[in-house]
């Protein structure tokens, strides 16, 4: 059986395309026959609704992070084939305070998902993070093999990135998470018609080199419409540019994981 690859999709900047990337990469990996678990770790619960689930009390990881229950029974089916999900709900917002009081609180998520990782029932676990570097995102980075970093093609794209890349470095060199690496950087909301998008993409590539995926996600209105129908874009509009791009990105992610995965 293939080992599980745990990827945190994070960037402390808001609205850069984290959730859109989680929903659609998960759906495209599922379409390619991979078994995927999405963990929605953002109290906004956008990945939860975007994958066809409504918010329900008691369904999130909150009580698991407080070590009041196990992860058993929290996994639900999503609307996308081969994609399961542990949803989020508003109570997760409380985790920022409550979990931080606990000893070893950064390890909470990695301990919680250990049975799922050991069972190898998923090829990918994708964690959608909130737009901050608080307790939830730090738990995700501590649990992950790789950071998938979405960068929006806009003016201040590179600003603040050194903070999160530095955290990855620190987690690796301290013993908190020796396995973590930057799995890849994805440029989002790319608009080929504008000079700005092209300049930003070029700047990010010159800074991060090979880490940047060749696939860039175009600005595509279908991608922003799909979540209101509770569907990934491949189910909402199978032929739009957003669909094609996320399929291509999923392919790149699969080939990169095969090169880097530890047996």
Ligand X SMILES: Nc1ncnc2c1ncn2[C@@H]1O[C@H](COP(=O)(O)OP(=O)(O)OP(=O)(O)O)[C@@H](O)[C@H]1O
Computed over its alpha carbons, how large is the radius of gyration of the chain? 17
Q: Quote the strand ranges of the chain, DSSP E.
A: 5-9, 36-40, 76-77, 83-86, 124-128, 146-152, 181-188
| CB of 6 vs ligand X, minimal distance in Å | 18
Q: Which two tokens stand for residue 21?
A: 């990337």
Chain positions 90 to 149 lying near ligand X, rule: CB under 6 A, are 131
State which residue has the least CB distance to Mg ion.
19
Q: Which of 4, 11, 19, 137 binds Mg ion (CB under 5 A)?
A: 19
Stretch that binds ligand X, among 16-24, 99-107, 112-120, 166-174 (CB under 6 A): 16-24
* CA separation for the pair 47, 43 (Å, rounded): 10
Residue 162 touching ligand X (CB under 6 A): no
24 binds, among ligand X, Mg ion, none (CB under 5 to 8 A by kind): none
| CB of 69 vs ligand X, minimal distance in Å | 26
Q: Which is nearer to Mg ion, 85 or 117 (CB)?
A: 85
Residue 16 touching ligand X (CB under 6 A): yes
Residue 15 touching ligand X (CB under 6 A): yes
31 binds, among Mg ion, ligand X, none (CB under 5 to 8 A by kind): none
* CA separation for the pair 177, 4 (Å, rounded): 16
| Residues counted in the chain | 263
Q: Which is nearer to ligand X, 46 or 60 (CB)?
A: 46
How open is the CA angle 63-69-70, to the nearest 5 degrees?
110
The β-bridge relationship of strands 5-9 and 36-40 is: unpaired
Inter-axis angle of helices 108-119 and 135-143, nearest 10: 30
How many chain residues bind ligand X (CB under 6 A)?
A: 18
Q: Which two tokens stand for residue 75?
A: 């996994």
Chain positions 34 to 93 lying near Mg ion, rule: CB under 5 A, are 46
Please give the residue ranges that form the binding site for ligand X (CB under 6 A). Answer: 14-20, 42, 44, 46, 131, 188-189, 217, 219-220, 223-224
């Amino acid at each position: 059986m293939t080992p599980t690859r745990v990827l945190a999709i994070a960037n402390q900047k808001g609205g850069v395309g984290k959730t859109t990337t989680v929903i659609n990469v998960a759906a495209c990996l599922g379409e390619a026959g991979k078994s995927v678990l999405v963990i929605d770790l953002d109290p906004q619960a956008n990945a939860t609704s975007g994958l066809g689930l409504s918010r329900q009390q008691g369904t999130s990881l909150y009580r698991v992070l407080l070590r009041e229950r196990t992860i058993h029974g929290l996994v639900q089916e999503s609307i996308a084939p081969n994609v399961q999900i542990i949803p989020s709900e508003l109570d997760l917002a409380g985790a920022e305070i409550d979990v931080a009081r606990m000893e070893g609180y950064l390890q909470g998520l990695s301990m919680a998902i250990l049975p799922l990782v050991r069972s190898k029932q998923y090829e990918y676990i994708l964690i959608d993070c909130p737009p901050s570097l608080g307790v939830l995102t730090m738990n995700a980075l501590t649990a992950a093999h790789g950071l998938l970093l979405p960068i929006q093609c806009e003016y201040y794209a590179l600003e603040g990135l050194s903070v999160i890349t530095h955290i990855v470095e620190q987690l690796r060199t301290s013993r908190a998470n020796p396995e973590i690496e930057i799995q890849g950087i994805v440029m989002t909301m790319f608009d080929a018609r504008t000079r700005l998008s092209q300049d930003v993409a070029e700047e990010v590539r010159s800074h991060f080199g090979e880490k940047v995926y060749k696939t860039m996600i175009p600005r595509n209105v279908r991608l922003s419409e799909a979540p209101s129908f509770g569907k990934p874009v491949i189910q909402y509009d199978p032929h739009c540019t957003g669909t094609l791009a996320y399929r291509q990105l999923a392919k790149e992610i699969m080939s990169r994981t095969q090169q880097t995965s530890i047996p």
